[in-house]
Amino acid sequence: MTGQKNLVTKRVALIISSTSSFVTPFMGSAINIALPQIGRDFSVHVVYLSWLVTAYLLATAVFLVPLGRLADICGRRKIFLWGIAVFTLASLLAAVSWNPHVLLLARILQGFGNSMVFGTGVAILISVYPPYERGKALGINVASVYAGLSLGPTLGGLLTYHLGWRSIFLLTVLLGILVLVMVILKLQGEWVGAAGEEFDLKGSLLYGGTVLTLMYGFTRLTSPYGPLLVVIGLGGLFFFIWRELRVESPVLEMRLFRRNITFTFSNLAALINYSATFAVGFLLSLYLQYVKGLSEQEAGLVLVFQPLMQVIISPFAGKLSDRVEPRLVASVGMGFSSLGVALLVFLSGETPIWYVILCSIILGCGFGLFSSPNTNAVMSAVEKKFYGVASGVLSTMRLMGQMFSMGIVTLLLTVYMGEAQITPANHQSFLQSVNLSFIIFSVLCALGIAASLARGNQRLPSREEEGGTCVRKGEP
């Protein structure tokens, strides 16, 4: 009877985690398609449009680790539920926003809610699945992420073309309500990995302030105060590390990095991977609509190939990482990503659409092979009491990478175009910023391969070594 109950719990957790993992990337990729229409409706320049993406990522990154730690202490289901609620309400605010500043505020609130979801969804999944089944479960979860990315450009393009960009947020509200209902009615029990331990509020505030200062300063490097903010942020980072090594109950257990090479280099590989690849969709969306003259619907159909390949490959890659060293599978993925980005360096006004599709397919193969094996490596490298923190750290690496990626693009767009809107008169300046972005991303991909290979061998426990235990609710 207990075994049957455990099986139901695993399936419910997988459905809920995968559904929530679909919603947020769907929102992100659909918004990329809608940005030109938002720019026209609110008459804002391309740098402001990039901030609609960056602000969301920044808000998510600031709160991810603290809320992941809070989930370990108070309960992962509870924090997950609050996260979905906040994300859904913020999506509603975005749908009814009456000026670009309200929309920007709504995106920040979406990021706050998303930090609670990202910091707990994978942790809940890991809590109910034993190591010998995690790769398969994570592969399905990652496939849901990429399904959201796949439908984002296509469905987002259709919605934007026929109903306007606000319809994307309204659809997200409906999906958020669906997840809320499933969590309340179907996901029973609670998972607490560090019950009774203190929450490091001072460390959390220091962490959030450091991330905010560092990331914002990076995006404003062309301004007089940008470099100063980066220096202050780096100083805050070193002080945060020094402090966390000395407190009894830190918000981020820094010793995980010092004594666990697999955890350290797997997170570094994730940081580099997303730094080198995230802004590709943003740049290609603008390129296809402004330079090639495609409609939102047509651009969405072109961009669907990359995440579609990720959906196909991710479950296979996750399952493969249960049997083969995760670092090898992930490193092959980084190799494909490097090739795809390098080919995009040659993008021009005369580049045929089939070439863009080919590059997208190669990138999709790379992402699919990298993500779930790398997640499997990170989560299997820590004790159960750190699942929430480890999930938060990995998500933070992903989001910091995404912000670095958008920061590089925002910086280059500012240098080449200033605050001008994209018009045929400045297409050449836009393409110069795009080409230089892809050159930088190619170099980062090469570094990512080295980081992925440097993590060393990792042997995951077998079913027999785990003793056949599948689920333990209410961890001590």
**Mean pLDDT in runs of 10 for the chain (476 residues)?**
53 76 76 79 74 80 78 78 89 88 89 80 71 68 70 77 84 86 73 68 84 78 80 88 80 71 82 84 83 79 79 76 73 86 87 90 86 76 68 73 80 75 76 88 85 63 42 40
In a domain, 87, yes or no: yes
Q: Can you tell me which residue has the tokens 């981020």?
A: 252
Is-contact 136 315, C-beta < 8 A?
yes
Task: Extract the tokens encoding 395.
Answer: 């998500």
Instruction: Specify whether the backbone of 189 is left (phi greater than 0), alpha (psi in -120 to 50) or beta.
Output: left
Distance from C-alpha of 321 to C-alpha of 309, rounded to nearest angstrom = 18
222 vs 59, 381, 441, CA distance in Å?
A: 22, 40, 20
In a domain, 212, yes or no: yes
pLDDT at 195: 63
pLDDT at 7: 54
Is-contact 291 112, C-beta < 8 A?
no
Distance from C-alpha of 416 to C-alpha of 13, rounded to nearest angstrom = 47
pLDDT at 15: 77
pLDDT at 93: 92
Distance from C-alpha of 180 to C-alpha of 176, rounded to nearest angstrom = 6
Domain range spanning residue 47?
A: 2-186+201-459
In a domain, 466, yes or no: no
In a domain, 258, yes or no: yes
pLDDT at 131: 65
* Residue 362, CB-side half-sphere exposure with 13 Å CA sphere: 18
pLDDT at 92: 92
Give which of 198, 90, 76 is closest to 125, Cα–Cα: 76
pLDDT at 473: 43
In a domain, 112, yes or no: yes
From the number of C-beta atoms within 10 Å of its C-beta (0-12, 13-18, 19+), residue 17 rates as: buried
Q: How many domains does the chain have?
A: 1
**Residue 387: which CATH number?**
1.20.1250.20
In a domain, 195, yes or no: no
In a domain, 425, yes or no: yes
CA angle 312, 317, 323 (to 5 degrees): 150
In a domain, 192, yes or no: no
